[in-house]
Structure 1
Amino acid sequence: MSSVVAMESPASVRQALQARISSMQSTRLDEDAFPVLPIMRGVLGRGLRRGVVYSISGSTSLALALVAAASQSGEWCGVLDVPDLGLEAAAGWGIDLDRLVWVADPGDRWMSTVGSMADVLGLVIVRAPTRVTSAETSRLVARLRQTRSTMLVLGEWPQSESQIRVVSSSWTGLGDGHGHLADRHLELEVRQGQGGGAPRRSRLRVPAAAIP
């Protein structure tokens, strides 16, 4: 079952996570990128870069799909301030719940909590806060770069490596009200960070069996 952390202080969160993780995992992988599922390679190539931020719009399930392969390979992941992202959906993508840290409501300590999680977790899915200063953004980005942790933000985030947006979504397999859902087709727009040129479009076919 996932690790649900009770909020006391950022320091206590970090200490609890470090103690739990060190008992199961001594070192992180040395690769420059986290692996992604085969269906995601057409979108991100060889994987998610370490130590950067990705912005995701239009689908919370897409964030789970992006971290699934890393979780299956033994990486610790976290979810912060996303109460509608359920454990059942995470398990449906094959995410290891024993290596998933869930903080439902950080209160007014969002920035310090995500920093503590980034110190010890490989990937963290977060809901974009309503207010964040440019100085706080720069400090967090620098911290991610140092710890080589990657943050997937549901919503807009400055200084992101890429923005991945679901442009359209459709299902196949139903005809005249009969049959079964076979596949979900997503059209994604992927825009690189500042100076990355024009956005590119990518089509993603997700088998219905892979969707929780």
Structure 2
Amino acid sequence: MTITPALDPARPVLDQLRERVTALEGGPARLPVPVLPALSGLVTLRTGSSYGVDSASLALALAAGASRSGEWVGFAGWADFGAEAAAGLGVDLARTVLVPDTGEHWLEVTAALVDVLRVVVLRPPTRVDARAAGVLDARLRKRSSVLVVWGDWPRCEARLSLEDVRWTGPDHGHGRLRSRQVRVAVRRGTAPPVRAELAFPGDEAPLNLLSADQPPGRTLRWASG
């Protein structure tokens, strides 16, 4: 007798049912994609899915884990892409594709990147409707890729947002900004958000998880570095 695993209460039920149907039909598996250790207890990236963020820092952080593990990543529609900030979080610029300006053909450009890269970060130049999102969703499943969207997106596996930012560095008005402590909220469907305190790197220090809420019925794996 085959025992069907229980549904995860922290994730949308409909998404989990779709995954089971895809598996039964022999569709592509939703494979895990590495994330930075500090994020490992907060969000799990899986191929065939899209994830939303509201800041450049979170966009880079979600791409950095795959890049550090040897995967190629891409950034589309990011005219002011910060190469130094990306490298500081662990993005290997030698395995990075950058399309600063996608213009009106952003959908085609992003689809082409999804075809060849494991993780693609998109900054849409316009409001995205369900039809355009559906085109990329299908491409993600077919190519076993991950899409991170900086901005609004009709359907996301999870959304990460900054709720509080605190800088450290200047002393009595002198010196330079060295690092940031931020409070991040991770939302999955209708489940209550999970919040965590993170320290973004300064002076080549790694991204660190300082503290995290523990949602009901779920154990977080704490990590740093």
Structures share fold, TM-score greater than 0.5: yes
Corresponding residue for 1:34? 33
Q: TM-score, normalised by structure 2?
A: 0.71
SS at match of 2:191: coil
Q: Distance in 1 between matches of 2:127 and 2:162?
A: 24
Which runs of 5 or more structure 1 residues have no equivalent in the other structure?
A: 1-29
Stretch of structure 1 that moved more, 80-89 or 198-207: 198-207
Partner amino acid, structure 1, of 2:136: L
Corresponding residue for 2:109? 113
Which runs of 5 or more structure 2 residues have no equivalent in the other structure?
A: 1-28, 207-225
Q: Contact 1:126–1:154 at 8 Å: present in 2 too? A: yes
Matched, 1:69 2:58: no
Shift of 1:180: 6.9
Matched, 1:135 2:134: no
Shift of the 211–104 alpha-carbon distance from structure 1 to 2, 3 Å rule, reads farther
CA RMSD of aligned residues (A): 2.4
Matched, 1:100 2:96: yes
Correspondences of 1:24-63 after superposition (within 5 Å): 32-44=31-43, 47-57=44-54, 59-63=55-59
Q: Contact 2:52–2:156 at 8 Å: present in 1 too? A: yes
Q: Distance in 2 between matches of 1:180 and 1:112?
A: 41
Shift of 1:182: 5.8
Shift of 1:173: 5.3
Aligned residues: 178
Matched, 1:170 2:166: yes
Matched, 1:157 2:153: yes
Partner amino acid, structure 2, of 1:39: A
Q: Distance in 2 between matches of 1:167 and 1:103?
A: 29
Larger strand percent: 1
Shift of 1:76: 0.6
